[in-house]
């Protein structure tokens, strides 16, 4: 199939972690990104999402510091260096690869979430929260009883929220904005509680699951971790039979 603009945007979007701090993102663009997010599908069209737009530097610093500390624990202590080298072997320059590993294990890589100019921070941080009692909300008797029909409400909410997040990151890319989805500051229950309390999120009914930084990229970023092709990730009719398109067999 010929590439069209949508597919080109999807394929060229990259996680941006260094922002041009001389450029703010006007509310008008933030609005467009969130609006596009809201067009994502959701079970029963319940739209179980809320987005908090964070421009307050102190709040960005609070959330960014959690990311830095968790990263030090995760990559600095728990992940062997050889594993990081393996994951980053798509970076051909040894010096760049080593630098990327160093900023990962020191937590420096997540300074950008704090929005500080000296670390090329993003001017805007979006926090996405989803309604854990999602499925069943429209029927009073089922409220909060996800699982009655074998459904999992939290699962539905996370699925819909993830689709909403992807819409936002693609909309941002289409508008010329850089963005980066992040979860490291929300992976641990303690951090979810702390962030919820700080932002007034009525947790655990609503739970923050992901963040998205928004800003203009400092440098163009084209190189990214490689993707597996359909031949590797798709099967025809049955698990294990590779899906190979006509002409490639
Ligand atoms: C659920 C999820 C969680 C992620 N968490 C983080 C994160 O905590 N910090 C970060 O810098 N990037 C995070 N990312 C971004 C990925 O690292 C990035 O998308 C991936 O390495 C592929 O690179 P690309 O987006 O440039 O193609 C996350 C992405 C997803 C979908």
14 lines ligand 1 (CB under 6 A): yes
90 lines ligand 1 (CB under 6 A): no
182 lines ligand 1 (CB under 6 A): yes
Distances (CA, A) of 44 to 78, 96, 150, 157: 40, 47, 16, 11
Tell me the C-alpha distance between 164 and 41, whole Å.
Answer: 8
| DSSP for 78-117, written as a single string | IS-HHHHHHHTTT---HHHHHHHHHHHHTSGGGGGGGT-G
Place of tokens 């997540």: 110
- Asked which of 29-38, 59-68, 88-97, 169-178 is least confident by mean pLDDT, the reply is 88-97
| Closest protein CA for atom 15 of ligand 1 | 181
15 lines ligand 1 (CB under 6 A): yes
Q: What's the pTM?
A: 0.91
Distances (CA, A) of 52 to 7, 223, 227: 28, 30, 31
Residue of 14, 15, 127 with the most ligand 1 atoms within 8 Å of its CB, for mutation: 15
12 lines ligand 1 (CB under 6 A): no
**8 A C-beta contact, residue 18 and residue 217:** yes
Residue 134 pLDDT? 66
Instruction: Look up the CATH superfamily of 12-233.
Output: NADH Oxidase (3.40.109.10)
Tell me the C-alpha distance between 240 and 223, whole Å.
Answer: 30
Q: Stretch 153-157: mean pLDDT, rounded?
A: 78
**8 A C-beta contact, residue 112 and residue 18:** yes
Q: Stretch 220-238: mean pLDDT, rounded?
A: 90
- Sign, CA dihedral 45-196-109-81, equals negative
Tell me the C-alpha distance between 214 and 195, whole Å.
Answer: 19
**8 A C-beta contact, residue 100 and residue 92:** no
Tell me the C-alpha distance between 218 and 119, whole Å.
Answer: 11
In this structure, the number of other CB atoms found within 10 A of the CB of residue 232 comes to 9
Phi/psi at 180 (5° precision): -145, 125
Q: Give yes or no for residue 72 having a pLDDT over 60.
A: yes
Q: State the closest ligand 1 atom to the C-alpha of 16, by its place in the atom list counted from 1.
A: 26
Longest CA–CA span in the chain (Å) reads: 60
Beta strands in the chain (DSSP E): 49-54, 124-131, 178-182, 206-215
Residue 144 pLDDT? 52
Instruction: Report which of 127, 130, 126, 128 is spatially closest to residue 205, judged by C-alpha positions.
Output: 130
Q: Give yes or no for residue 138 having a pLDDT over 50.
A: no
pLDDT tens-digit map of 9-59: 999 999 999 999 999 999 999 999 999 999 999 887 888 899 999 999 999
Spans of all domains in the chain: 12-233
32 lines ligand 1 (CB under 6 A): no
In this structure, the number of other CB atoms found within 10 A of the CB of residue 140 comes to 7
Residue 214 pLDDT? 98
Contacts of 33 (CB under 8 A, 6+ apart): 126, 168, 171, 172, 175, 177, 214
């Amino acid at each position: 199939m010929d590439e069209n603009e949508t597919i080109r945007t999807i394929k060229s979007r990259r996680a941006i972690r260094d922002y041009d701090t001389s450029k703010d993102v006007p509310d008008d663009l933030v609005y467009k990104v969130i609006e596009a997010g809201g067009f994502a599908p959701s079970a029963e069209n319940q739209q179980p999402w809320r987005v908090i737009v964070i421009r307050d530097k102190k709040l960005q610093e609070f959330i960014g510091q959690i990311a830095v500390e968790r990263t030090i624990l995760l990559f600095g202590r728990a992940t062997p260096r050889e594993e990081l080298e393996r994951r980053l072997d798509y970076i051909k320059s040894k010096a760049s690869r080593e630098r990327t590993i160093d900023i990962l294990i020191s937590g420096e890589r997540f300074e950008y979430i704090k929005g500080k100019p000296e670390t090329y921070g993003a001017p805007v941080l979006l926090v996405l929260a989803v309604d854990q009692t999602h499925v069943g909300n429209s029927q009073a008797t089922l409220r909060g009883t996800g699982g009655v029909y074998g459904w999992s409400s939290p699962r539905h909410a996370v699925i819909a929220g993830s689709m909403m997040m992807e819409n936002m990151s693609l909309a941002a890319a289409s508008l010329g904005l850089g963005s980066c989805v992040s979860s490291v500051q929300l992976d641990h229950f303690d951090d979810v509680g702390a962030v919820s309390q700080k932002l007034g999120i009525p947790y655990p009914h609503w739970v923050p699951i992901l963040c998205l930084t928004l800003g203009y990229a400092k440098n163009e970023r084209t190189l990214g971790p490689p993707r597996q092709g359909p031949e590797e990730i798709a099967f025809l009719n049955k698990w294990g039979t590779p899906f190979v398109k006509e002409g490639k067999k």
